[in-house]
Amino acid sequence: MPRTRLHSGTAGFSMMELMVTLAIVGTIAAIALPQISRAVAFERLNGAIRSVSNSAALAKTKAGAQFQRERLFLDRGANSYHLETCVPVVGAVPPRCNWTADSATTSLPINVTFNFAPVGAPPANTQPAINHAPACLDNQLIPAPIANSSCIVFNSRGIPIDDAGAPTNLDAVYITDGTAVLAVTVTTTGLIGVWNTQPLAVPAWKIA
């Protein structure tokens, strides 16, 4: 015998049910998307500071391996950075370097800059006052500071040094996207730290 197909008058969804479902989905999306966006932005910022920290650690390692000064060069105008090695200038008195690129240039992610505003103090037991590392010196006969630059220079023992070759506690890198400020600091012993805080004048730095 042929089968009889039963049809239900209640199959499918009514227009009202669809509208209610869409309203619920829209509400959930409106709540979740900003949180997801903030999480993605923080991960991007965190990834950027980890990359800077790794570059500083690599500069320290190369200085010891090559038994020569190595520096992390920050171009704060272009929001990029790279490594440079010291090629000693033969016969120069006092001794000086011909700094030569030792890595590819890395750019910060979009909307991320070398900045610490409005934060007004560095992480504890790091710098005496918040600031980027001192300006890099150029390769002129009488070396001069390069505008919009900062350099963390390591000697062959992995110690951060100033232009005179003395250990320094002024080295730090700060980045922000406006939602948080992250930092890489280098102590006079060569210890590299990574920190983060909310963008507040009185910060609450935490180890990242």
pLDDT (0 to 100) of residue 201 = 97
Provide mean pLDDT across the span 11-26: 72
Q: Phi and psi for 36 in degrees, rounded to 5?
A: -65, -40
Q: Is the pLDDT of residue 188 over 80?
A: yes
Provide mean pLDDT across the span 182-200: 97
Domain ranges for the chain: 15-207
C-alpha to C-alpha distance for 156 and 15, rounded to whole angstroms: 74
Residue 71's pLDDT band, with cuts at 50, 70 and 90, is very high
SS3 108: coil
Average pLDDT, the chain: 90
Enumerate residues 6+ apart whose C-beta is below 8 A from 118.
199, 200, 201
- Three-state SS sequence of 17-35: HHHHHHHHHHHHHHHHHHH
Q: Is the pLDDT of residue 202 over 70?
A: yes
For the chain, how many helices (H) and strands (E)? Answer: 1, 10
Count of Cβ atoms closer than 10 Å to residue 135 Cβ: 17
C-alpha to C-alpha distance for 151 and 6, rounded to whole angstroms: 80
How many Cα atoms are found within 13 Å in the side-chain-facing hemisphere of 102? 23
pLDDT (0 to 100) of residue 12 = 65
Residue 24's pLDDT band, with cuts at 50, 70 and 90, is confident
Q: What is the pLDDT of residues 106-153, one digit of tens each?
A: 999 999 999 999 999 999 999 999 999 999 999 999 999 999 999 999
Q: What class has domain 15-207?
A: alpha beta
Pick the residue with more confidence: 34 or 22? 22
pLDDT (0 to 100) of residue 20 = 72
Nearest to 53 by CA among 206, 161, 175: 175
